[in-house]
Structure 1
Amino acid sequence: MKKVLLVLSFGFSFLMFGQIVTLSKVVQTHTNTDKVLYKINPDSTAGIYLGEVEVQGFSDDDAKVFGLIYKKAKEIGANAFSWQPFLQIDETAAAFDPLHYKLNLYYVKSDQFPEENNRVYFISSPYKKQTIAFDKKEIVFNPRTFTFVQLEPGEIYTISTRKLLGSSIKLSAQENQPMQFFQFSGFSVNANQGAGLNLKSGDIMKLEKSYGQFLTTIYQYFKK
């Protein structure tokens, strides 16, 4: 009886998650202790190509998915990734498909990563539409979307979830301030070991850069 319950429990868990992450190609490996997994444009950033990871099926547990991708990447020493579009019949790149996609994996020297100082990315909840106040302007975020703001010197930006007991933050440009990632959410995302760490809880969460860049890869950009 215990064995039957165990099998049923495992099957239910698999169906709930419904996503398979595999290291589908390994060209070479690289020894390093880097904890990051940053997004790059391989056309403009010099890197050593190591292989690819393939994701099949859909899950809305983005932190868990990223944790699995991160683990596979670290098996071959990767510290960077890029989305690899599938080609259509006419050889043009197909749009991103959250049900099936591939990420190329690379090793990039730390001083070769591009900088986007004073750029702030804002990422929606995966579950619900939200109206967010940017100063006096209201912006509607559909689920699984994102946008960004380039902070200008001398300006102060106020972002608010507009809800009772909600959150608000103030941002301003600083010299050599690295890019930042915030996600709007009414719940906490579970942290993965070494990846996807939440640095703030509440309606506006500050995300670790690797996880933030992953979300801006699998979510849809919109111009606010």
Structure 2
Amino acid sequence: MKIKNIAAFLCMIAITFINAQNVYLSKVEKTKDNTDKYFYKIDPKNSASEYLGEIDVQGFSNNDTAVFTAIYKKAKEIGANAFAYKPFESVDEKIQPFNPANYRLELYYITKEELSKPSDLIYFFSSSSKPQTISINKKDYVLPPRSFTVIKAVPGEIYTVSTKKFLGSTIKISTNAGASAQYFQISAAKIKSNTYGEPGINLKSGDIIGLDKSYGDFLRMIYAENK
């Protein structure tokens, strides 16, 4: 093998190693006979939830959809339909900041009543690798990679959202009293819609992508809020 090819091969191995990610059930307290498709982020202190176990994620990946899918499948093995971020503590008992290359999730089961709590919030996520600019009712927002902004919607009001790009997308969003939160991701990349009945991407409108609540809740946990 030529030196040039050896270098390329070693580089490929190094990239694979850097992007390697392990998702595994680190603790199982109990299981639930539950076949629903939901997987929502909750605050266990303010929810009537049943603790089931924990998932550990080790290693970083920019493919957020693949990471979420791996977490979702592990959670469903024990019937979980909700999760909460569990921060690590240092030796001096200080809470460590979120680390996308090493984090832990607590898994829970919640009732349908808890799942259907209304929200008037609309979330807009940047992409995993590039900054994005959007306009919401003619107000511009610049979102760094792996960040999001959120607005509190007024029921009945129309929100015009544009990517401010040549041939970019423009959509109109409204919300009703008692409706659920809405989630959108801004991306120049073409993203394939999810298979029916699976979590992730619900719909697509050019470079503004509607997300289901499960995947949206995951992104707002691993992305930083841009206030």
TM-score by length of 2: 0.88
The 3-state SS of whatever aligns with 1:74 is helix
Alignment of 1:2-41 (within 5 A): 14-15=16-17, 17-41=19-43
Q: 1:162 to 1:13 in 2, by over 3 A?
A: same
The 3-state SS of whatever aligns with 2:36 is coil
TM-score by length of 1: 0.89
2:145 equivalent to 1:149: no
Alignment of 1:4-83 (within 5 A): 14-15=16-17, 17-83=19-85
The 3-state SS of whatever aligns with 1:25 is strand
Q: 1:198 to 1:173 in 2, by over 3 A?
A: closer
Per-residue CA shift, 1:82-129, capped at 9, x if unaligned? 000001233121110001000000111111236243211111111111
Instruction: Return the offset for 1:131.
Output: 1.6
Aligned equivalent of 1:203: 207
**CA separation in 1, counterparts of 2:194 and 2:172?**
28
What amino acid sits opposite 2:136 in the alignment? F
Query: Does structure 2 retain, via aligned residues, the 8 Å contact 1:38–1:79?
Result: yes
Instruction: Return the offset for 1:158.
Output: 1.1
5+ unaligned residues in a row in structure 2: which ranges?
Answer: 1-8
**CA separation in 2, counterparts of 1:214 and 1:189?**
17
**CA separation in 2, counterparts of 1:57 and 1:103?**
15
After TM superposition, the structure 1 stretch with the greater mean CA deviation from structure 2, 73-82 or 180-189, is 180-189
**CA separation in 2, counterparts of 1:56 and 1:174?**
40
Instruction: Return the offset for 1:16.
Output: 7.0
Query: Does structure 2 retain, via aligned residues, the 8 Å contact 1:131–1:139?
Result: yes
Equivalent residue pairs, number: 215
Instruction: Return the offset for 1:169.
Output: 1.3
The alignment yields a C-alpha RMSD, in angstroms, of 2.0
Aligned equivalent of 2:188: 186
5+ unaligned residues in a row in structure 1: which ranges?
Answer: 1-7
Q: Percent identical across equivalent pairs?
A: 49
**CA separation in 2, counterparts of 1:78 and 1:124?**
28
Instruction: Return the offset for 1:13.
Output: 8.8
**CA separation in 2, counterparts of 1:100 and 1:94?**
11
After TM superposition, the structure 1 stretch with the greater mean CA deviation from structure 2, 147-156 or 212-221, is 147-156
**CA separation in 1, counterparts of 2:65 and 2:93?**
32
